Amino acid sequence: MDAGLQRELDDKIRAGERLTYDDGVTLYECDDLAWLGGLAHHVRTEKNGDRVFFNVNRHLNLTNVCAASCAYCSFERKPGQKDAYTMRIDEAVRLAKAMEPEGLTELHIVNGLHPTLPWRYYPRVLRELKAALPQVALKAFTATEIHWFEQISGLPADAVLDELIDAGLESLTGGGAEIFAWEVREKIVDHKTHWEDWSRIHRLAHSKGLRTPATMLYGHIEEPRHRVDHVLRLRELQDETGGFVVFIPLRFHNDNNRLSYLPMATGAEALKTFAVSRLLLDNFDHVKVFWVMHGLSTAQLALNHGADDIDGSVVEYKITHDADGFGTPDKLTREDLLDLIRDAGFRPVERNTRYDVLREFDPAVPLAQRRAEPQAIWA
Ligand code: SF4
């Protein structure tokens, strides 16, 4: 990058000025990752100090049967396929109870778009999960699923959300976003929920007092300009509603899906994506790294490239685990997570679904003071 332009952008960011679409594209063209990471780290430190947030959650997928066949998906199965499954409500409750470790605060529930399950199943399952685990927040359903519920119930999203909230829904999940730009989306997404409906449903959820996450699936056929467009749409919606709690870049995995021929984003590309997203999204308080999709070492580095939140102890997460051929474990204990955060140089802070602080832990002990100790290696 031209030195003058680099200085100009540096000044703009340090002065807290809002970046443009062109600025975002220029930042992606820059290969000075140390500079980008340093700026993103400056911004995340201004917003969140030395804190890295986590919550103790579990993932629950009620069914992997899906009417759609998205090109990047390793999870969906068709009815009758050998490993297709759909949980009865009592099975879902039994599994959730079995996953309930001490201190669980959130269940993260996403599912396939089941072609024949009736709409009534979904509020019922939330109601029974809430009755069985009253202290646990139910973060459930993507905007794509809410749109699907509109189609199978004949109800508008307004009534769908009211009924789910009444049954115990605390937050939507951030999925179904992928890449909003149509020229990419039309090639990889096989359901009917695009930016217009995705944003409509999150806007509505925010108007009802829910706070929601937003994601972006990167590292497949999109170009950096599509990532910039994606986060700027989210920034504009956030200006309007203020209801997003966190932005989560999700790295595409190329195993067991129709895009398996693509190479995966490198660690450097992942870190650049975290950094540029952090710099563009000036109205988002948090950027989360989901370690299941990035591996533990890249997740630690992401904390130094703009991320300030790391997904918690995951025991049941089938959507990405099926796609992961990289030796990333499918669960971390709370102690593992605390060590991982401290080893990256940060203070762990446990939060709930709404990002209220539940507990602040001791900060990291500087590496210089513990050179003699055996050091963990995070694969
Ligand atoms: S991404 Fe979701 S909607 Fe698309 S095929 Fe997979 S489970 Fe179905």
pLDDT in tens, 7-39: 999 999 999 999 999 999 999 999 999 999 999
Is 73 in contact with 111 (CB distance < 8 Å)? no
Indicate which atom in ligand 1 lies nearest the CA of residue 191. Answer: 3
Place of tokens 């399950």: 117
According to DSSP, the residues that pair with 86 across neighbouring strands are 63
Query: Does the structure show a pLDDT above 50 at 124?
Result: yes
C-alpha 54 to ligand 1 mean position (Å) = 26
CB 323 less than 6 A from any atom of ligand 1: no
> Is residue 66 within 6 Å of ligand 1 at its C-beta?
yes
**φ, ψ at 203 (rounded to 5°):** -60, -45
* pLDDT at 317 > cutoff 70: no
Please tell me the residue having the least CA distance from ligand 1 atom 4.
70
The winner for highest mean pLDDT among 49-58, 175-184, 290-299, 310-319 is: 175-184
For a pocket test of ligand 1, which of 63, 64, 66 has the largest count of ligand atoms closer than 8 A to its C-beta? 66
Distance 66 CA to ligand 1 centre (A): 6
List the single range of 53-62, 152-161, 203-212, 223-232 with lowest mean pLDDT.
Answer: 53-62
Confidence of residue 322 (pLDDT cuts 50, 70, 90): very low
Task: Compute the distance between CA of residue 305 and CA of residue 279 in angstroms, rounded to an integer.
Answer: 10
Distance from the alpha carbon of residue 32 to the mean position of ligand 1, in angstroms: 36
CA distances from 71 to 36, 183, 260, 280 (A): 31, 14, 9, 28
What's the pLDDT at 379? 66
Ligand 1 atom 3 nearest Cα: 68
- Global pTM reads 0.94
In the DSSP assignment, the letter for residue 77 is: B
